[in-house]
Amino acid sequence: MPTILGQNQYGKAENRVVKITRDGDTHHIKDLNVSVALSGDMDDVHYSGSNANVLPTDTTKNTVFAFAKEHGIESAEQFGIHLARHFVSSQEPIQVARIRIEEYAWERIATSDGNSRFIGADDVKHSFVRKGQETRTTQITFDGEKWEVISGLKDLSVMNSTNSEFWGYVKDKYTTLKEAYDRILATDVSAKWRYNWTSDEERMPNWEKSYEQTRKHMLQAFAETYSLSLQQTLYQMGSRIINSRSEIDEIRFSLPNNHHFLVDLEPFGLKNDNEVYFAADRPYGLIEATVLRDGVEPKIPVDMTNL
């Protein structure tokens, strides 16, 4: 046979599970989108169509919902760990399980504003508005021995309206760009960071706190960096996280440079003193890089977009 099978994986993608936990009248939500990918001894199903080693993707879906009841959802990472361990340990042919999760945050609707004159205006503890902003992500991979946890976020839109310059670059025959000494710097942060926790023997990070702190450092580094290039800002964001969070060894960013072009108002007799900008869609700069703790081997895949 002149052709052979290479890497392969299968499972149910995008299981949308919502878990409500009731603490008396106070409710808590976890809202996840869970994708399962299993690999192992799967030659036969590809070559002959024999499903003898195939746990149906429908079963992997059922397992996600059943585990939300059986284990609860403490964090996306912890939930993914339960799932990955189950598939690898319970199914002989499955050698690697990879669980990817998106999490959508909700916050409470404030009702007790003191001046509400409507019935039921006591503080309501079961009403939520979706927080918007970024989507939190995680990817749990387990081969029966070692864990790899790569968490992250995407679509976190940030903007500095000053403290950004761009000049001193290479100029070739196709260069027409003018140097900028005060520009808007805006991006939609997409980031993935790898935890150095790899074994059940080690103490597990506090996933919720780690996420919250990583996000905070990322935003603060973006805000506090006087930027000569988006690459410099990216590196500042990454190194502050590596320096502040000992549980994280590596972080990769994909940062579109969301161009805000200063509009030329001179034809209308007006001066544009860094006030009026046109927010462009395409094309956009795209800056991607990994920042690592010195001495560790990079493992986050380079591709974070499909472009």
Q: Is 46 a catalytic residue?
A: no
Measured from the CB atom, the residue of 96 and 204 that comes closer to its own copies is: 96
Residues between 153 and 172 that touch its own copies (CB under 8 A):
156-163, 166-172
Residue 68 CA, distance from chain mean position: 21
Min dist CB 213 to its own copies, Å, is 11
CA–CA gap between residue 176 and residue 55 (Å, rounded):
58
Q: Under DSSP, is residue 90 helix (H, G, I), strand (E, B) or coil?
A: helix
227 forms bridges with which residues in the sheet?
164
Bin 278: left if φ > 0, else alpha if -120 < ψ < 50, else beta: beta
Does the footprint of its own copies cover residue 287 (CB under 8 A)?
Answer: yes
Min dist CB 151 to its own copies, Å, is 14
Are the C-beta atoms of 304 and 287 separated by less than 8 Å? no
Measured from the CB atom, the residue of 91 and 204 that comes closer to its own copies is: 91
Q: Count residues contacting its own copies (CB under 8 A)? A: 158
Beta carbons within 10 angstroms of residue 186's beta carbon: 21
Measured from the CB atom, the residue of 1 and 203 that comes closer to its own copies is: 1
Q: Is 12 a catalytic residue?
A: yes
Measured from the CB atom, the residue of 82 and 100 that comes closer to its own copies is: 100
Long-range contacts of 211-217 (CB under 8 A, 24+ apart): 211/75, 211/136, 211/151, 213/244, 213/245, 214/241, 214/245, 214/248, 215/134, 215/153, 215/156, 217/241, 217/244, 217/245
Min dist CB 108 to its own copies, Å, is 9
Min dist CB 163 to its own copies, Å, is 6
Beta-strand relationship, 135-142 and 147-160 = antiparallel
Min dist CB 266 to its own copies, Å, is 10
Catalytic entry in 19, 27, 28, 57: 57
Q: Is 86 a catalytic residue?
A: no
Residues between 242 and 281 that touch its own copies (CB under 8 A):
242-243, 250, 252, 256-257, 260, 263, 265, 267-268, 270, 272, 274-281
Q: Give φ, ψ of 92 to 5 degrees.
A: -50, -50
Residue 165 CB contacts under 8 Å (≥ 6 apart), including other chains: 180, 181, 182, 183, 227, 228
Name the token pair of 151: 């968490």
Residues between 186 and 205 that touch its own copies (CB under 8 A):
none
* Binding segment toward its own copies, per CB under 8 A, in 74-82, 141-149, 194-202, 289-297: 289-297
Catalytic entry in 61, 82, 217, 259: 259
Write the binding mask 104 to 123 for its own copies: x where contact by CB under 8 A, - elsewhere: --x--xxx-x--x-xxxx--
CA–CA gap between residue 24 and residue 128 (Å, rounded):
16
Min dist CB 204 to its own copies, Å, is 23
> Exactly one of 79, 211, 238, 247 binds its own copies (CB under 8 A); which one?
238
CA–CA gap between residue 254 and residue 151 (Å, rounded):
14
Residues between 4 and 23 that touch its own copies (CB under 8 A):
4-22
Does the footprint of its own copies cover residue 294 (CB under 8 A)?
Answer: yes
Does the footprint of its own copies cover residue 78 (CB under 8 A)?
Answer: no
| Catalytic positions, written as ranges | 12, 57, 259
